[in-house]
Amino acid sequence: MLPLFCSIFILFSITHVEPVLNGKVAAPGQFTYQALLKLDKGTVKGTCAGAIIDETHILTAWHCVEDVTSDHIEVIVGAVDYDNDPNAMSYWIDGIKLHQSRSCKLGQVRCYDIAVLE
């Protein structure tokens, strides 16, 4: 039980990680399609990434949002360092659309781990 608890604690206790691309810090504006998702799952807070599809849609992984309601997902765009970047823009989403065949099992060849945030 202790190794599992320590793994979870370490995973969610990281507050800042340097933005890296092939060992180099990402430059502001370099990844304009990238979004950060801040998730509030009750006692566990976490982050995931998403890809901007258009002005109102973000593509992300189903497993990131499977236990979260839309009012607990904050989307941050326009920043490399979201804590200190004055260009960071924050949005709350209206809804989550999960793939109709969503399922992911260990060893499964096809996995529909897709969600769209509106």
Which of the 8 DSSP states describes residue 72? G
Q: E strands along the chain, which residues?
A: 20-21, 24-25, 34-41, 44-54, 57-60, 73-77, 89-92, 96-98, 115-117
Q: What is the dihedral of CA 23, 27, 31, 32, to 10 degrees?
A: 170
- pLDDT, one tens digit per residue, over 83-115 is 788 889 999 999 999 888 776 666 666 778 899
What pLDDT is recorded for position 16? Answer: 53
- Cβ-contact 94, 70 below 8 angstroms: yes
Give me the residue spans of the domains in the chain: 2-117
Assign a CATH topology to domain 2-117: Thrombin, subunit H (2.40.10)
- Residue 84 is predicted with a pLDDT of 83
If pLDDT is split at 50, 70 and 90, which confidence band does 41 have?
confident
Q: Encode pLDDT of 5-36 as tens digits.
A: 333 333 443 445 555 656 777 788 888 899 99
pTM of the model: 0.72
